[in-house]
Each structure stands twice: as structure tokens, then as C-alpha cells.
Amino acid sequence: MKKAVIIGGGISGLATAWLLRDKACKAGVELELTLLEKEPRAGGKILSIKEEGFLCEWGPNGFLDSKPQTLDLCGEIGVKDSLHRSNDNARRRFIYSGGELHRLPENGPSFLKSRLISWPGKLRLALEPTPFISPAPHGVDETLADFGRRRLGKEALDKLIAPMVSGIFAGDPETMSLVSCFPRIAELEREYGGLVRAMILLAKQKKKDIADGKVVSSAAGPGGVLTSFRDGIQFLTDALSASLGTVITPDSHVVAVEKSHGAPYRVRCEDGRDVEADIVIVASPAFAAAGMLDNLDPAMTSVLRQIPYASMTVVCFGYERERVSHPLDGFGYLIPKKEGRSILGTLWDSSMFENRAPEGKVLLRSMMGGACFPEYVRLSDDEVRTRVMHDLKDVMGITAEPSFVRIFRHEQAIPQYVVGHSTRLSALDERLQAHPGLILTGNSYRGIGLNDCVAAAQRASDEARGLI
């Protein structure tokens, strides 16, 4: 009987464990499976906190239903009927610029009417399809900022791309890699010579495919509806944990993965326990994986330590609805760095999902820090509260004191796919060839979202199944 150990009980580790056990069972293969989790509870950064009638997400607040990975997993573990999709408000998103909130345009006419981008900026964007804009040099790992300036212009970079990058990655577009963060955009430029030309041609193809009865996705991007559960996204990790049962061993801090005489690998825990395994799947963040693998392969850990992480402070404010005069008819807003605000943006959580705030109250969730402001994670609670209140007053006109406040800090929240990330991944793949049965998975490598984590878990479980 083969023995497999999964290190890390976040969504990546839980999904990998469930999928691997399921594949082995369906194949009639005996497998001894153990998941070692450092904390007393599994779930990692997914934690839905219910207090005073408010539901606050400590980490991610859901996933998009336009990709199959997480939806399929929900179906397989029997929780698909419990899914709770955001309402139509989530379609409306805003950017704060020049002292006001601007709704992000959704089509050509609304873009022309919008005051978010000036007319010179719109004219620069109109040049995007022209042959006068040269593509990036072949083989160059271009930053998102360089791509934005080259393809769309500086104003579009500042008001559209930079806020998007901070909203998704909490990242700095001056350092983030286009091909690693948004590979589809890089692919569209290479294949079609420009983004506008790509969208026009793909839209035509989409109409043809629909006419032919084919099921197609959006040409412009992943799209989809933000999806969670009525009790929060932790419902998913709780369901996985319950299904896995005794497979999970909590309070197990792994300190090293080593070669073993009795089996290919020995996993050593801080409390002195050793677990031997034929297959070791490390589903921990890159920095944690580096510490575990240091003795096994110093060259690999050197690469892992080159993947930086951005810090993040999440601030939940609850108000009486009557104390907030601003309409909360949207997803929320992002703030460009050039606006000089303390927060990256604010989500109107209780407007997107029911059950996020008590009757007659609202829940706003603001983000601070990220790669551009790493020092913010060390601000005191009083300073955080003061800064957020100041920004909410200026942006939304809120002058009331919040009746509910919760502040969550993440020292190493989101991996940053900075320039050179694809080269680092290639180096990791090469080093892993020397260690059959050792697998890396999680959001440090090929996608940070929940869907990405589940997709990576699928790949990891397939690879492990091939070794059984």
C-alpha cells in the first residue's frame, strides 16, 4: 500500500486530499492518506467569522462560477445545492478618481459617456488597435505597467490597470509580470496583434458558435457571477474537512521533508513525530515550503524564497443603514494609488450577498496595504480605524462612527507573480525531476484565486494518482 502525505490544510491541501482519495477509491487502489495541518483547524485563509449578526470574511469571499473547477468539486462533495450567488449589484463596479466614484463602463457607449478617462486618454485608448503600437519584444517578461503604457496609455494604466492589479493581487503593476498574472491577455496580443482586434474577432466567432449550437465562454475574460454560501465561503472547507475526517491531523507543524531509508520520504513534525511517505504533496505557501525543503534541496528552496508575498489588512465596518446615505448598489470600488488614499478599495459586502449584515444594517469591507504599502500591516488598530473612516468620509460621505469593527491582518497574504516568475516555475519543475513523488501545489505558482487552487489540486492529484 502506498502512503501519501499532504502538507497544508488550506483549500489547496483539502481539495488535493479529497480528489486524490476519490481517484484512488474509484480505481480500486489502496492508499494510506494523511493531511498534516499546522493549525488546530483546517481551512487556511478561508475563515467566515459570524459576530453580532455580521458575517465577515477573513480571506477570500467566494469564487466566479464561470470556470468549472470549484463548481465541479462542490457537486462531487454534495454541497452544490447550498451555493449562494451574489445578486445583480455585484455587476456594478466603481473606480474612485478625481474626488468621485465612476462606474466602470461595460460597453462602448457607456465608455464614451464616462468621465473616468479624459478625452485625451480615450483618444489614446482608441489607438490600441492601430499597427503603430509595437508588440513586446519576443521573450521579454513585460511588467503590467510597461504593457499598460505601451498598449493603452498612462491614464488607462493609472485608472484601470493599476486598481485592478491591487484589487486582485494587492500588487504593484511596476513589478508584476503580465504573462504570469494575465496569460490570456498576453496570448491575445500575440495571436491577434491587439486587444480590441482580438475582442472583435472573438465576438464574431462567439456569435457563429452560438448559431451553431456550441457552448462558449466570454471573449473578453472569465466573467461569471461571484459565488459563495449563505454561511460564508468557509462552508466549503468545512464540508471538505468533514468528508476527509481522520485523514486530517491538526496541530501538526511540519519542519522538514527528508529522504528516508524505509520509504522515499520522511516528514518530520515539530513535536518529534515522523511520518514516512512514498508521495509528499506540499500545499503550503512558497515561503513555508522553502523552510520544509531546505535540507532536501537547497537549490529548490532558494527559488521558492524568491516568490514574494504582499501583506494585507482587512477592515470590516458595520453601520446602521440609515447612517449611510450613499447608495450601495454595487460590488464596491477600487482606488488608484495616485489618489493618495490609505485604502485600496472597499467592498459593499451586504449589498452583494444576503445574510452578511443584520436587518437594517450594512457591512463594508475595506482593504489596506498590499505591495505598494507594506508598512500598513504594522499600524495600530486605532490608526487603521482612523484612516479607514477618513477615506470612507471623503469617498462615500460617511460621517458616522461604525457600530461594528473587526480588523484582520495578513503578514504574508498574497503571492506576487513578479517579473521572472515563469523562469522560477521552470527552475522548480527542473528541480522536482530529481525528487520523484514530491509535488508542489497551491496559489504560489499558477493562479491565486480559489478556482486556481482547485485546478492546481486537480493537477496535483492526477500526478500523485499516476505514482500509486
Model pLDDT for residues 358-379, shown as the tens digit of each residue: 999 999 999 999 999 999 999 9
Same domain, 67 and 158: no
What pLDDT does 205 receive?
A: 64
Task: Using the structure block, give the residue that is written with the C-alpha cell 473606480.
Answer: 95
Q: Are 107 and 96 in contact (CB under 8 A)?
A: no
Residue that terminates a domain, selected from 211, 246, 273: 211
What pLDDT does 415 receive?
A: 98
Residues facing 314 on adjacent strands:
367, 408
The whole-angstrom separation of Cα 293 and Cα 295 is 6
Residues 236-281 pLDDT 10s:
999 999 999 999 999 999 999 999 887 899 999 999 999 999 999 9
What pLDDT does 224 receive?
A: 85
Mean pLDDT of 393-417: 97
**Does 458 reside within a domain?**
yes
**Does 218 reside within a domain?**
no
Same domain, 154 and 202: yes
Same domain, 319 and 411: yes
Per the structure, how many domains does the chain have?
Answer: 3
Q: Are 286 and 403 in contact (CB under 8 A)?
A: no
What pLDDT does 207 receive?
A: 64
- Name the pLDDT band for 208 (thresholds 50, 70, 90): low
Same domain, 380 and 392: yes
Residue that terminates a domain, selected from 157, 181, 211: 211
Does the pLDDT at position 210 exceed 80? Answer: no
Cβ neighbour number for residue 344 with a 10 Å cutoff: 24
Question: Which residue type occupies 423?
Answer: T
CATH value at residue 427: 3.50.50.60
Please choose, from the candidates 371, 368, 393, 404, the residue with its C-alpha nearest in 3D space to the C-alpha of residue 383. Answer: 368
Same domain, 319 and 408: yes
Q: Over the chain, what is the mean pLDDT? A: 93
Same domain, 320 and 383: yes
**Does 170 reside within a domain?**
yes
Q: pTM for the whole thing?
A: 0.92
Please choose, from the candidates 222, 290, 304, 299, the residue with its C-alpha nearest in 3D space to the C-alpha of residue 254. Answer: 290
Please choose, from the candidates 262, 345, 240, 257, the residue with its C-alpha nearest in 3D space to the C-alpha of residue 293. Answer: 257
What pLDDT does 107 receive?
A: 81
Q: Are 97 and 116 in contact (CB under 8 A)?
A: yes
**Does 132 reside within a domain?**
yes
DSSP calls for 399-459: -SPPSEEEEEEEEEEEE--BTTHHHHHHHHHHHHTTSTTEEE-STTTS--SHHHHHHHHHH
**Does 98 reside within a domain?**
no
- Name the pLDDT band for 214 (thresholds 50, 70, 90): very low
**Does 12 reside within a domain?**
yes
Same domain, 243 and 335: no
Same domain, 141 and 190: yes
Nearest 5°: phi and psi at 345? 165, 175
- Name the pLDDT band for 191 (thresholds 50, 70, 90): confident
Mean pLDDT of 211-235: 68
Q: Of the given ranges (16-20, 189-193, 253-257), which has the lowest mean pLDDT?
A: 189-193
What pLDDT does 218 receive?
A: 37
Same domain, 403 and 443: no
Same domain, 256 and 266: yes
Range of the domain at 372: 309-415
The whole-angstrom separation of Cα 82 and Cα 136 is 45
* E strand spans, 307-358: 309-320, 332-334, 343-347
Residues in the chain, overall count: 468
Could you give the C-alpha distances from 78 to 208, 216, 235, 236, 322, in angstroms and in order? 36, 26, 12, 10, 40
**Does 134 reside within a domain?**
yes
395-399-401 Cα angle (round to 5) = 120
Q: Are 433 and 275 in contact (CB under 8 A)?
A: no
Same domain, 128 and 37: no
CATH value at residue 176: 1.10.3110.10
Please choose, from the candidates 56, 35, 25, the residue with its C-alpha nearest in 3D space to the C-alpha of residue 362. Answer: 56
Could you give the C-alpha distances from 264 to 3, 276, 290, 366, in angstroms and in order? 10, 8, 19, 47
Residues 133-142 pLDDT 10s:
888 787 889 9
What pLDDT does 90 receive?
A: 86
What pLDDT does 129 receive?
A: 84
DSSP 161: I
Q: Of the given ranges (64-68, 342-346, 439-443), which has the lowest mean pLDDT?
A: 64-68
What pLDDT does 206 receive?
A: 57
Does the pLDDT at position 217 exceed 70? Answer: no
The whole-angstrom separation of Cα 161 and Cα 103 is 15
Residues 316-359 pLDDT 10s:
999 999 999 999 999 999 999 999 999 999 999 999 998 999 99
The whole-angstrom separation of Cα 19 and Cα 73 is 9
Same domain, 300 and 444: yes
**Does 52 reside within a domain?**
no
**What is the side-by-side order of every strand in the sheet holding 361-369?**
100-103, 93-97, 332-334, 343-347, 361-369, 309-320, 404-415
CATH value at residue 388: 3.90.660.20
Question: Which residue type occupies 368?
Answer: M
104-108-110 Cα angle (round to 5) = 45
CA dihedral 380, 386, 392, 393 (to 10 degrees): -170
The whole-angstrom separation of Cα 160 and Cα 12 is 30
Could you give the C-alpha distances from 371 to 173, 239, 360, 410, 418, in angstroms and in order? 10, 33, 36, 12, 11
